[in-house]
Structure 1
Amino acid sequence: MLNNSLFSRLEEIPALLKLKLGSKDYYKNNNSETLTCDNLRYCFDTLNKVSRSFATVIKQLPNELGNNVCVFYLILRALDSIEDDMNLPKELKIKLLREFHKKNYESGWNISGVGDKKEHVELLENYDKVIQSFLAIDQKNQLIITDICRKVGAGMANFVKAEIESVEDYNLYCHHVAGLVGIGLSRMFISSGLENDDFLNQDEISNSMGLFLQKTNIVRDYREDLDEGRMFWPKDIWHVYGSKINDFAINPTHDQSVLCLNHMLNNALTHATDCLAYLKHLRNENIFKFCAIPQVMAMATLCKIYSNPDVFIKNVKIRKGLAAKLILNTTSMDEVIKVYKDMLLVIESKISSDNNPVSAETIQLLKQIREYFNDETLIVRKIA
């Protein structure tokens, strides 16, 4: 007899097939004359190698905006690859991070042997092609990308030798590596003419869009980061539950390990209502889907890893079928709210019955998000 879990997975099969069959070659469908063909081809081919999930999401965007965002992403991915290379001497790493925004104006520049993964090393070894694509972008978007790249690099450099001790440090770090990206994307949306100037005064919620994604990934990536010799969990949180950060990997199912995990996820959940506020401001359907899909994927990930000790053992991911279903169904604010409601119910079912502060905070956060659903300003408006 088939159980409900298996039924739900069977329902995901059509979504997987539809996503695969309906997947288009973004490059072939791109008519932009602003980027040279060879370099644009390289950028999109590389995007597929370094982040298949983002390569799927970027297809939601109109051609020229999609081109610009692709280049923006690869520039930030290159920065991140420098930061993640734990074998790179710290002084050289700091220098590269602080000066990286200038490299985008140096035709022919690249660097060999830097990066934590093969595809990241290859990106930096062929970075001259990204530079050529960047230089072909209109000046207004070049300035947006350069400003964000400079700030992200400087922020990363500040933490090369510093530990993330406090929650304030954690928020600042996540702002530098992800919140600024959200702010930059908002400015690019405005520059495209597809969104209005409202977002110029919405940096706080643009920042939260990045923080929710980043914090969810930081929690999910505990084991991978631990094995690579890096860690982004703030000591002020994890030290409450263990004397060393690797204690949780040694005793993954211990009550204190799970409490620490959920404490970290509560911190991520504090940004959920800001993300909903951001999405409700969007007017363009394509931009809405581009922004909303990663958010519902992050909520699904958070739902899966809540109270899940596997996080301390391996990298936990949502099923490909569920991911496909979320990508195809995330077309409106109604659908986003529906996913959030479903995920909140699952999280609620996983909350410990013990009377502890972490569970109490989760309950309060879920209540706040649900109250936000009733905000009349969330009533779905027609997307242009």
Structure 2
Amino acid sequence: MGDLGEILKHPDEICPMIKLGMQVRETEMRTPELHWAFCYTMLRRVTSKFAVSLLQLGPEHRNAMIFYLVLRALDTIEDDMSLSSEVKTPILEDFHEHIYDRDWHFSCGSSDCRVLMDQFHLVRQAFLELDKSHQEMIKDVTERMGAGMAKFIDKEIETIDDLNEYGYYVAGLPLHGMLKMFVVPGLEDSDAEYGRLSNSMGLFIMDLKYEENSVEAVRCLNEMITSSLVHVEDCFKYLSVVKDVPALFRLFALRQVMAIGALALCYNNIDVFRFGVKQRRGLIAKLTERTRTMSDVYGVFFEFCSLMKSKVDRHDPNATETVRRLDDIQNICINSGLLNRRKFYIMRSEEGYNSALKIFKECGVTSRFDIFGN
């Protein structure tokens, strides 16, 4: 009943949610082969956010789905706390070889992730049908990511530098691999720079695990979120690189707008530790349907930054730095000259909406646009 109440509070999200559900079902139904059908279904079960963008890619890009599922299996091994480091470490280090081995099987994880591991032979079958170049790319990223995970099995993440290094292995590497997989023109000419941008964007979207302890926990949470905001400018640069490859642009743009939405939701929010928080399915559907251009991306970031600014506690030790970084992001959005080209808005009744709307109007966004995105 709670979910229904949330839906009724945001009627402008109902149609996008229905349309997205129909698209996902249609994609799954037009996949006759058992192993590919399993991969599509499993993708939706292990990652609701990423699935909505990956499932909209055409069949020619389903290599991206296999890439994700292979790395999700690797992540499942890392996350299983019932495994000792003596068992876990060699599997992480050798997983890039196991994806070729038809006889290898390892059951671990829980819930849907255990199903993924128990039926990994179906993912392997799909993997072996990919082009050799894509297989090699997936193997390379898996090897490097597995080695990085193994390094941190018995090492605590105690500093921001530790967090950034870990983030490089688990988020930066996969994004750079995805960029190569889509063969973005000119990538080879400045591979190192795009690798840096991939890492920066990966750090921005990486899931973080926070300390559970009231006031200090929230302050720690706020500091980590503030730290992640430094990567936003690189996210914009990264998206500008792929803007001429529509499928890739939408895939990564959705990840970024969902990431800034998650940060806005979690910022200064004690419920992160009490109950856990998640974005509304309707909001995810709305973002998925309507994030199509850089102007959309700038607009979403601008709005969520306004929401975050409305939540800043002046007693927070990082309050000044948080506001400064949010201002910097909003200035980038304004200076892009694209805010007035956007035709939909994310926030309707959320705190901070009125201030965001006021600034949008000052930037030249007029009433001829559909303010509520209907």
TM-score per shorter chain, which class?
0.7 to 0.9
Q: In the alignment, is the contact (CA less than 8 A) between 2:24 and 2:56 conserved in 1?
A: no
Whether 2:134 is the aligned partner of 1:173: answer no
Tell me which residue corresponds to 1:342. 303
Q: 1-side partners of 2:166 and 2:172: how far apart?
A: 9
Letter of the 1:80 counterpart: D
Whether 2:81 is the aligned partner of 1:121: answer no
Tell me which residue corresponds to 1:332. 293
With over 3 angstroms needed to count, the CA separation of the structure-2 counterparts of 1:199 and 1:185, relative to structure 1, is: farther
With over 3 angstroms needed to count, the CA separation of the structure-2 counterparts of 1:260 and 1:109, relative to structure 1, is: same
Letter of the 2:286 counterpart: K
Q: Secondary structure at the match of 1:25?
A: helix
Q: 1-side partners of 2:78 and 2:196: how far apart?
A: 25
Q: 2-side partners of 1:52 and 1:6: how far apart?
A: 17
Q: 1-side partners of 2:27 and 2:12: how far apart?
A: 27
Q: 2-side partners of 1:312 and 1:325: how far apart?
A: 27
Give the CA RMSD over aligned residues. 2.4
The alignment covers a number of residue pairs equal to 333
Letter of the 2:201 counterpart: M
Q: 2-side partners of 1:207 and 1:378: how far apart?
A: 26
Tell me which residue corresponds to 1:55. 51
Q: How far is 1:129 from its partner?
A: 1.7
Tell me which residue corresponds to 1:308. 269
**Where do 4+ consecutive residues of structure 1 move more than 6 Å?**
5-8, 377-381
Tell me which residue corresponds to 2:352. none
Tell me which residue corresponds to 1:11. 12
Q: 1-side partners of 2:148 and 2:167: how far apart?
A: 9
TM-score (norm 2): 0.83
Q: 1-side partners of 2:266 and 2:90: how far apart?
A: 36
Q: How far is 1:289 from its partner?
A: 0.9
Tell me which residue corresponds to 2:362. none
Tell me which residue corresponds to 2:356. none
Of 212, 225, 232, which aligns to 1:265? 225
With over 3 angstroms needed to count, the CA separation of the structure-2 counterparts of 1:377 and 1:275, relative to structure 1, is: farther
Of 104, 110, 116, which aligns to 2:99? 104
Over the matched positions of the two proteins, sequence identity in percent amounts to 35
Tell me which residue corresponds to 2:21. 20
Q: In the alignment, is the contact (CA less than 8 A) between 1:47 and 1:74 conserved in 2?
A: yes
Unpaired stretches in structure 2, ≥5 consecutive residues: 1-5, 342-374
Q: 2-side partners of 1:195 and 1:37: how far apart?
A: 32
Q: In the alignment, is the contact (CA less than 8 A) between 2:260 and 2:304 conserved in 1?
A: yes
Of 156, 159, 164, which aligns to 2:152? 159
Q: How far is 1:175 from its partner?
A: 0.8
Q: Secondary structure at the match of 2:103?
A: coil
Q: 1-side partners of 2:80 and 2:304: how far apart?
A: 35
Tell me which residue corresponds to 1:291. 252
Whether 2:179 is the aligned partner of 1:218: answer no
List aligned pairs for 1:318-329, cutoff 5 A.
318-329=279-290
Q: Deviations over 1:289-318 (max 9, x none)?
A: 111111111111111111111111121011
Q: How far is 1:213 from its partner?
A: 1.0
With over 3 angstroms needed to count, the CA separation of the structure-2 counterparts of 1:22 and 1:93, relative to structure 1, is: closer
Q: Secondary structure at the match of 2:182?
A: helix
Q: In the alignment, is the contact (CA less than 8 A) between 1:189 and 1:195 conserved in 2?
A: no
Q: In the alignment, is the contact (CA less than 8 A) between 2:89 and 2:153 conserved in 1?
A: yes
TM-score (norm 1): 0.81
Q: 2-side partners of 1:39 and 1:380: how far apart?
A: 46
Q: Deviations over 1:56-104 (max 9, x none)?
A: 2112323122x21111111101100100110112111001000000011
Unpaired stretches in structure 1, ≥5 consecutive residues: 31-35, 223-244
Tell me which residue corresponds to 2:179. 186
Of 198, 201, 213, which aligns to 1:209? 201
Q: Deviations over 1:148-177 (max 9, x none)?
A: 000000000001111112211110011111
Q: In the alignment, is the contact (CA less than 8 A) between 1:273 and 1:369 conserved in 2?
A: yes
Q: 1-side partners of 2:148 and 2:56: how far apart?
A: 30
Q: Deviations over 1:241-286 (max 9, x none)?
A: xxxx44x1xxx2x3x3332221011112111111111111211222
Letter of the 2:124 counterpart: I
Q: In the alignment, is the contact (CA less than 8 A) between 1:344 and 1:366 conserved in 2?
A: yes
